[in-house]
């Protein structure tokens, strides 16, 4: 898909239109639908959209429309999957994250090229993250993810990458990551990315859950619950591609990216109910539920990030409780600081992504401290308020830093045809976090 800027409307080229009187969330939905159905060259009147519908400058309107159109246009390139082998996912990614080969004329009398390029970069990087989520797990192990990250960073001098595998993780004491992965035949990993930024400011550390496949471990999932568990690494994919986006647009502020990778497999070395593990922070955790593994990865990842960042943002497909509460179109978020919470809500509302703040607090946190064998447990016998209890577990590893947690089990995956997004990974919260990084 190619975007070109024109000053005047062109003759004999179909015109895309969006209805008036819509909020940003509805506008995103409508633009997604245009992208989903797009099959031929077209044009779009940015100035009319900016003034009559979007309610903002032409540049911002062009950026918004471009990234929304790309989100709807994405299709997983299953034909390209036939060419995939070890180490070449990065080389094939534009065929795997396919969009129609069409030209979209963005018509405006204003100078919108820079804003359009920014929206195109956001849409493209989000689609790469979706592609990683859509890949079958046997095509994207932790080894493959690490190779992809190495190749990505090699092309971007403003990014640096360190990868810690089993030996280094053992030396560091990352007991949460290692415990989840101990039945897997592929070594665990912790990816640490850095982006220096072109200016000075607080360092934001992004942490993404990277469970490459979640069987549930000893608490084995049913067939229905195990369906789609290749998507349990969408948070990690988002963080990797958000760092790519930051580098591509020369983001002003410095960033850290932390991505713990593991596979929650079943075998004779599986983590068992009642086992006690020692996290990177030094705290011990009794494993009451082996299917509550994501918080063990994120706990180590957050503590690692808290030693390097001024504020923390984590993304994960964490709890079914959050999906049961909010459904498949709204992401739950938790935050320990009012100023940061306000920024999250402003960023999400402005970009048209649906979020709802859920509570933290002692009434939930105390449910973690019932164990007699460890400092805390990873689950509570009473399953109520599961999303809040899980978030309180994560908060224990933030070292008191300002922190926002996105629990996105529902919206991270489109589960049925809807005329808006292809079935599969959606890239939810990617745009909102990208906007947050600029605030």
Tell me which residues are annotated as active site. Answer: 221, 295
Q: Residue 398 CA to chain centroid, in angstroms?
A: 19
What distance, in Å, lies between the first and last C-alpha atoms of the chain?
29
287 CB-side CA count, 13 A: 26
The token pair at 268 is 């004779």
User: How is residue 177 written in tokens?
Assistant: 């990551």
Give the separation between CA 62 and CA 39, rounded to whole angstroms.
Answer: 20
> Which backbone phi and psi does 255 adopt, to 5 degrees?
-135, 150
How many DSSP H helices and E strands does the chain contain?
A: 17, 20
What distance in Å separates the CA atoms of residue 434 and residue 439, rounded to the nearest whole number? 9
Q: Are the beta carbons of 180 and 293 closer than 8 angstroms?
A: yes
- β-strands 403-407, 331-335 pairing: antiparallel
- Number of C-beta neighbours around residue 55 at 10 A: 13
Q: Which of 95, 431, 401 is nearest to 258 (CA)?
A: 401
Closest CA to 152 of 129, 134, 135, 169: 129
- Secondary structure element (H or E) that encloses residue 147, with its range: helix 142-154
Measured distance CA(331)–CA(355) in Å, rounded: 5
Residues 6+ apart with CB under 8 A from 2: 102, 103, 104
Candidates 313, 333, 321, 184; CA nearest to 261 is 184
Quick one: 40 exposed, middle or buried, by C-beta within 10 A (0-12, 13-18, 19+)? exposed
Please state, in angstroms and rounded to a whole number, the distance separating the CA atoms of residues 96 and 80.
Answer: 6
């Amino acid at each position: 898909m190619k975007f070109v800027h024109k000053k005047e409307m062109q003759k004999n080229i179909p015109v895309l239109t969006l209805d008036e009187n819509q909020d940003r969330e509805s506008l995103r939905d409508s633009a997604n639908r245009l992208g989903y159905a797009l099959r031929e060259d077209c044009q779009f009147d940015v100035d009319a959209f900016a003034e009559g519908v979007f309610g903002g400058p032409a540049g911002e309107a062009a950026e918004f429309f471009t990234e929304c159109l790309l989100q709807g246009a994405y299709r997983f390139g299953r034909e390209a999957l036939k060419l995939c082998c070890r180490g070449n996912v990065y080389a094939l990614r534009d065929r795997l994250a396919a969009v129609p080969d069409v030209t979209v004329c963005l018509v405006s009398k204003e100078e919108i090229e820079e804003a359009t390029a920014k929206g195109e970069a956001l849409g493209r990087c989000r689609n790469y993250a979706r592609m990683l989520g859509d890949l079958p797990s046997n095509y994207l192990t932790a080894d493959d993810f690490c190779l992809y990250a190495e190749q990505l960073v090699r092309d971007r001098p403003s990014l640096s990458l360190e990868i810690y595998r089993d030996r280094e993780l053992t030396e560091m004491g990352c007991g949460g990551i290692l415990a989840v992965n101990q039945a897997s035949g592929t070594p665990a990993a912790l990816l640490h990315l850095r982006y220096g930024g072109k200016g000075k400011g607080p360092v934001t550390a992004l942490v993404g859950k990277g469970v490459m496949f979640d069987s549930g471990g000893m608490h084995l999932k049913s067939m229905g619950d195990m369906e789609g568990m290749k998507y349990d690494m969408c948070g990690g994919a988002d963080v990797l591609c958000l760092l790519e986006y930051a580098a591509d647009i020369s983001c002003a502020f410095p960033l850290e990216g932390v991505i713990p990778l593991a596979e929650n497999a079943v075998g004779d070395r599986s983590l068992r109910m009642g086992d006690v593990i020692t996290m990177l922070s030094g705290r011990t955790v009794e494993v009451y539920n082996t299917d509550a593994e994501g918080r063990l990865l994120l706990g180590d990842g957050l503590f690692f990030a808290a030693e390097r960042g001024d504020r923390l943002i984590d993304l994960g497909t964490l709890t079914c409780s959050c999906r049961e509460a909010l459904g498949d179109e709204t992401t739950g978020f938790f935050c320990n600081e009012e100023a940061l919470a306000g920024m999250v809500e402003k960023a999400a509302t402005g970009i048209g992504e649906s979020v709802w703040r859920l509570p933290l607090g002692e009434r939930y946190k105390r449910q973690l401290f019932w164990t007699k064998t460890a400092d805390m447990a990873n689950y509570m016998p009473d399953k109520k308020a599961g999303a809040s209890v899980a978030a309180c577990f994560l908060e224990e590893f933030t070292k008191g830093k300002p922190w926002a947690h996105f629990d996105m089990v529902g919206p991270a995956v489109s589960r049925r045809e809807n005329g808006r997004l292809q079935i599969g990974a959606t890239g939810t919260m990617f745009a909102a976090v990208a906007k947050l990084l600029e605030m």
